[in-house]
Amino acid sequence: MRITDAQVFVGGPKKNYVTLKIMTDQGVYGLGDATLNTRETLPAMYLRDYLIPAIIGMDPRRSEDIWQFLYRGAYYRRGPIAMAAYGAIDTALWDIKAKLAGMPLYQLFGGKSREAAMVYAHATGADLEDLMDSIAYYVQEGYRAIRVQCGIPGMPTTSYGVSDKRGDTRNFITDYTGVRPRTEIWDTDKYLRFMPDALAAIRDRFGPELHILHDVHHRLLPREAAEFAKAVEPMRPYWLEDPTPAEDQDALRLIRQHSTAPIAIGEVFNSIWECNKLIENELIDFIRVGVTYAGGITHVKRIVDLAGLHHVRTGFHGAPSHSPLSMAAQAHLNAWAPNFGIQEYLVLGTPECDALFPSEHHVTDGMMYVSDEPGLGVDFDESEAARYEYEPGSHPVVRLEDGTMWNY
Ligand code: KDG
Ligand code: MG
């Protein structure tokens, strides 16, 4: 069996999904996702110019060897662009393998460990009252776990993931008006004065059972993160995400020394070599990598197994930039992983998105049900894809009030 060709498509309904389709001489094809949000053309170019020509003629069933060929063969290893490109190839090869076996992908991992996987939704509010309404909406929709992000009083702009318009619960991460980013202003003191009380009010209003998650989005220094984690511990958050940038990993010990609040990190990691210290030293509770830019199923599965040895559970990244293909790959991993924790999930199911990526994966009452179709269980409609073009977008950048650059 041989790979005969592969194509890359960039575009989608209000998204720049990077979709790879690998064709074989037996008519079976595989699909993968290389959507690196706001930098989408780079993995697409890497695939088209370097990787596709190199894999044509290879046996698609040898997914491990092809992964090693891509990773070891590049010489300049890792990085999000390369790992997104390898990930798309790897996911497409697993799709082919499972289609050949006539089985849903999770069966190849070892079968289901659960009937459905808990997901968390995103609630956002311009202020606390607005956030309470947003949380109430998701509770009533059946979600058991909700990430809560709130405008901070006195801050001149909104902070991460929040709209400045009341009642607006769209996700504010990517701005598709060009590559020049807008600026958010950040003030740690105002955040630290407000957020613990806000989390206490949320716990008070929604009771003990709701899983409350919060994304600090790399804004705090390690000592501040320790102070914050200690302050919110009594509210029993499900997790605090990215309390501090994880470049200085030893600094995370400070949080552990002061608080038992669960810590989730890893959405910007693209290899096991960024996670292994945090996992082996048990400095985190949830690993947040995504199949899209952490080298695909082969590599993420390796990370999941390492995490399982150290009581670290999965909480795969599921921001809106992930296409239904990588979300499906994660749905299969979530169905299998003995150390599954939770899955981030934003409603993808617009009619346009469903038409582009037909599938039977679905979320009901806050639980994700994996498709039983052979392979990933997601198809790709090329005639629909022809409707979309790449639209340049950007994340915000963050500055302190005096103009100093800060971490987005
Ligand atoms: O592209 C950047 C987003 O994926 C990121 O800001 C989202 O932090 C994020 C999350 O937890 O989903
Ligand atoms: Mg995050």
In a domain, 398, yes or no: no
Given CA atoms 164, 169, 172, 173 in this order, what sign does their dihedral have?
A: positive
Strand order in the sheet with 183-186: 183-186, 397-400, 405-406
- What is the CA(242)–ligand 2 centre distance, in A? 7
Q: Are 275 and 308 in contact (CB under 8 A)?
A: no
Report d(CA 31, CA 39) in Å as an integer.
20
Q: Are 91 and 296 in contact (CB under 8 A)?
A: yes
For residues 196 and 302, state if they share a domain: yes
For residues 296 and 360, state if they share a domain: yes
Q: Is the pLDDT confidence value at 284 over 70?
A: yes
- Least confident range from 32-36, 147-151, 172-176, 292-296: namely 172-176
Answer whether 319 contacts ligand 1 (Cβ < 6 A). Answer: yes
Query: Which pLDDT score is estimated for 279?
Result: 98
For residues 68 and 210, state if they share a domain: no
In a domain, 234, yes or no: yes
Active site residues: 160, 217
Per-residue pLDDT band at 350 (split at 50, 70, 90): confident
Answer whether 215 contacts ligand 1 (Cβ < 6 A). Answer: yes
- What is the CA(110)–ligand 1 centre distance, in A? 30
For residues 279 and 369, state if they share a domain: yes
Q: Are 120 and 213 in contact (CB under 8 A)?
A: yes
User: Rounded to the nearest 5°, which phi and psi values hold at 275?
Assistant: -100, -25
Share of the chain above pLDDT 90, in %: 92
Query: Which pLDDT score is estimated for 205?
Result: 98
Answer whether 159 contacts ligand 1 (Cβ < 6 A). Answer: no
In a domain, 400, yes or no: no
Which residues are CB-contacts of 193 (< 8 A; sequence separation ≥ 6)?
Answer: none
Report d(CA 39, CA 373) in Å as an integer.
32
Beta bridge partners of 8: 20
Answer whether 328 contacts ligand 1 (Cβ < 6 A). Answer: no
Per-residue pLDDT band at 174 (split at 50, 70, 90): confident
What is the pTM for the complete model shown? 0.97
Query: Which pLDDT score is estimated for 166?
Result: 85
User: Rounded to the nearest 5°, which phi and psi values hold at 279?
Assistant: -75, -50
Give the pLDDT mean for 26-50: 98
Answer whether 344 contacts ligand 1 (Cβ < 6 A). Answer: yes
In a domain, 161, yes or no: yes
Query: Which pLDDT score is estimated for 347?
Result: 74
For residues 128 and 95, state if they share a domain: no
* Residues 188-235: tens digit of each pLDDT: 999 999 999 999 999 999 999 999 999 999 999 999 999 999 999 999
Longest CA–CA separation in the chain, Å: 63
Of 17, 33, 36, 37, the residue with max ligand 1 atoms within 8 A of its CB, to mutate for a pocket test, comes to: 37
Q: What is the CATH number of the domain that holds 19?
A: 3.30.390.10
Q: Is the pLDDT confidence value at 163 over 90?
A: no
Q: Is the pLDDT confidence value at 54 over 70?
A: yes
In a domain, 382, yes or no: no
Structural domain total, the chain: 2
- What is the CA(98)–ligand 2 centre distance, in A? 31
Q: Is the pLDDT confidence value at 169 over 80?
A: no
Answer whether 184 contacts ligand 1 (Cβ < 6 A). Answer: no
For residues 83 and 223, state if they share a domain: no
Mean pLDDT (the chain) is: 96
DSSP SS3 for 284: coil
Ligand nearest to the CA of 318: 1
Query: Which pLDDT score is estimated for 348?
Result: 63
- What is the CA(182)–ligand 1 centre distance, in A? 16
Q: In ligand 1, which atom is closest to the CA atom of 37?
A: 1
In a domain, 26, yes or no: yes
User: Rounded to the nearest 5°, which phi and psi values hold at 134?
Assistant: -65, -40
* Residues 236-270: tens digit of each pLDDT: 999 999 999 989 999 999 999 999 999 999 999 99
For residues 342 and 263, state if they share a domain: yes
Query: Which pLDDT score is estimated for 161?
Result: 85
Q: Is the pLDDT confidence value at 171 over 80?
A: no
Q: In ligand 1, which atom is closest to the CA atom of 408?
A: 6
For residues 199 and 289, state if they share a domain: yes
Query: Which pLDDT score is estimated for 49?
Result: 98
For residues 61 and 119, state if they share a domain: no
Q: Is the pLDDT confidence value at 349 over 80?
A: no
Q: Is the pLDDT confidence value at 396 over 90?
A: yes
For residues 121 and 85, state if they share a domain: no
